Structure 1
């Protein structure tokens, strides 16, 4: 007797023999993850440790460190600053300009001898900076000296408001705050690599594309006139229909497993520690994929039209959710919140970043609500139209 297990087994064997299906479901997503993750890696966070280049800094006018204002002396002698900026003194302005042109020094600065008095009186303070040939070292020096000036301006503002005694009660300019921190970029933030981003995006997109298998399978029985024979057996239309959908769903979940494991082994994609929640997201996307294909297949008469509509819907949702590339426009990003891809992707990315469970469950909850709504619509479409020759 034909039962649902026989139909499921038949669907699995039929798809396993189809080389095009195997390529599209398993090899193509892995290839796209590699291409997109490699080509667009510069647009995503880096986990590399950044160590700034050393800068040869000339201080114009001062013969030695003892001749410098106490606040600036404390700044250049700070251990973090001393690692990056190598200072030389005793140069005139003309000598410094010549050395900057020749490249023997990278940056020069003129420090007023009465800098500390200017800060203590709350008057305007300025440092004259002369740039060298190397853009990167100019940027490093300007950033570090700018940090010192921010600290000085803060003290000036305090003096202007509360008087000179604030420097005694509060922090003195001779203290040495930490101006530089060397470490991993984005180590304190929430970021992910290009490989992680596109692994999540391609996983979602190809799970949705798996719904095309169900649609094609449903139409193939009609177009090949084999549905008559199936309906002549002692098995209900619901069993035939359910067996086909279940068989396609099993293939889709196998696809999800292979993409997750393959991307982890081949590309080092870290999917996070929420394994069961990741599985739940895959199940919900599979459910949504199958229900979309059911709705379209029940309402559309031809296989080609149904395929075109399903593909258009998937591509539109992937684009609006930033699946091809992160979208900078707020309006399009807001439209993406109405798509399955957006909530599935946000949930997976938050798992990859090991964020709070409540934040992940919010995305999964919305995804589950959408999938439930689509399932209800699919059931209504099936009850009204049915699956028959």
Structure 2
């Protein structure tokens, strides 16, 4: 009898052309549209070389002269002043912030694989190239850059050190990387300045100011080695982990989103059969509500499983989507179908005896779009607020999407334990909630 009832429910679904259109055709269309459009910006192509124009306006000799003039006004003995001047004149060989930035950092051997430095352009010429997309960014080093850095290292009064960076908005990823590199450089300078300040203050407080002043050349040498130290860009590839394309991502995302629409159609069929008194007639024949809903559960399970298989085959054969191991795909799809069928079971139990479509509209227009966004079906979850990123793996969409992506990357079944556990736990909770709803109805 259960088999006959499952067959009845399956035939009811298969005869609904609108349901088939929504659950089978729409995901294929959206996978194609999103894969061709948004998918192209999801890292399908290499980043390429970032072209950085450096406009070096720094006046090294003028800054040294300016610094010596300031030192002339320092209230110290003539011998101490002469010693201080000699030490300051050695600064260019010990700590040249512009040379460190341009030669040791931006033209470091490791960075040349990513950044191509362009010099010799005027600011106006560089801006013209930037507007045409020939440059990724322009770095302007102001004329007093070295003076302010040296002053901050020598004197307690801190001057603001500025570097100006212009970036091409159409190359935001490469421009952002350059900006992060420069931010790291300026932060390193700031940290060293503060370290020097604290050291000098503690030395003066304990009567060691003169000794520390004698160590100034060594301090400058250490500063230079710290800021312009060796840079290593570590690029690692994970063995057997394949790259995810835009088509791959949205195939998984749309598949997980559209199986949820099967829940709404399950509720609709339940309400229609309640209106036609089908359940009452079956109950008169000795069939319980539990048996009726069990048939609905297995019918939903079979249909959703076949829905995922059809989406997977079509997207793979026609759109070239790489699902990885088909064994893993079938396992993930079975667990996903179980959890969603349990959700359909719960909503069907809530819909028993109801004629208001409010429950269906709530699920289709609010719940599905909401969980799809949180789960990452439309956009990667990393762009969402932090609390939603943490919530995403525990939603049906998020668990399914991550499981499929891991399968596409060639990971093993053991790597999917967390996502499969989410399906089992949520599916089990939905079934328990269904039993509670039926118990309350009997009461």
TM over 0.5: yes
How many equivalent pairs are there? Answer: 359
Residues in 2 aligned to 1:243 and 1:4: alpha-carbon distance in whole angstroms = 6
User: Does 2:365 match 1:315?
Assistant: yes
Residues in 2 aligned to 1:267 and 1:366: alpha-carbon distance in whole angstroms = 29
Residues in 1 aligned to 2:2 and 2:180: alpha-carbon distance in whole angstroms = 69
TM-score by length of 2: 0.59
Residues in 1 aligned to 2:16 and 2:220: alpha-carbon distance in whole angstroms = 79
Residues in 2 aligned to 1:143 and 1:241: alpha-carbon distance in whole angstroms = 57
1:115-134 per-position Cα deviation (integer Å, ceiling 9, x unaligned): 88557536657666577897
CA, structure 1 residues 170+360, in 2 after alignment: closer, same or farther (shift >3 Å)? farther
User: Does 2:230 match 1:177?
Assistant: yes
Question: 1:22 is matched with which residue?
Answer: 20
TM-score by length of 1: 0.66
Aligned partner of residue 225 in structure 2, secondary structure? coil
Contact 2:270 2:352 in 1 (8 A): no
CA RMSD of aligned residues (A): 5.1
Aligned partner of residue 371 in structure 1, secondary structure? helix
Question: 2:190 is matched with which residue?
Answer: 153
User: Does 2:120 match 1:88?
Assistant: yes
CA, structure 1 residues 247+76, in 2 after alignment: closer, same or farther (shift >3 Å)? same
1:127-138 to structure 2, matched below 5 A, reads none
Contact 2:293 2:348 in 1 (8 A): no
Question: 2:351 is matched with which residue?
Answer: 297
Question: 1:373 is matched with which residue?
Answer: 429
Unmatched runs of 5 consecutive residues or more in structure 1: 90-95, 185-190
Residues in 2 aligned to 1:356 and 1:119: alpha-carbon distance in whole angstroms = 55
1:78-112 per-position Cα deviation (integer Å, ceiling 9, x unaligned): 335665223339xxxxxx56766876996543366
CA, structure 1 residues 33+70, in 2 after alignment: closer, same or farther (shift >3 Å)? same
CA, structure 1 residues 272+346, in 2 after alignment: closer, same or farther (shift >3 Å)? farther
1:92-241 to structure 2, matched below 5 A, reads 96=122, 108-109=140-141, 110=143, 118=151, 121=154, 124=158, 147-162=184-199, 164=216, 165-166=218-219, 172=225, 175-178=228-231, 198-221=250-273, 223=275, 236-237=287-288
CA, structure 1 residues 260+277, in 2 after alignment: closer, same or farther (shift >3 Å)? same
**Shift of the alpha carbon at 1:257?**
2.5
Aligned partner of residue 43 in structure 2, secondary structure? coil
Residues in 1 aligned to 2:251 and 2:119: alpha-carbon distance in whole angstroms = 48
CA, structure 1 residues 276+245, in 2 after alignment: closer, same or farther (shift >3 Å)? closer
User: Does 2:18 match 1:54?
Assistant: no
1:123-164 per-position Cα deviation (integer Å, ceiling 9, x unaligned): 657666577897779988776555443333333233323464
Unmatched runs of 5 consecutive residues or more in structure 2: 62-91, 200-211, 238-242
Contact 2:399 2:422 in 1 (8 A): no
**Shift of the alpha carbon at 1:295?**
1.4
User: Does 2:109 match 1:79?
Assistant: yes
Contact 2:263 2:341 in 1 (8 A): no
Contact 1:203 1:259 in 2 (8 A): yes
Contact 1:80 1:180 in 2 (8 A): yes
Return the match for 1:286 from 332, 337, 340: 340
Residues in 2 aligned to 1:50 and 1:365: alpha-carbon distance in whole angstroms = 36
Higher alpha-carbon deviation: 144-153 or 343-352: 144-153
Contact 2:97 2:146 in 1 (8 A): no
Higher alpha-carbon deviation: 366-375 or 151-160: 366-375
Contact 1:350 1:359 in 2 (8 A): no
Question: 1:187 is matched with which residue?
Answer: none
Higher alpha-carbon deviation: 307-316 or 105-114: 105-114
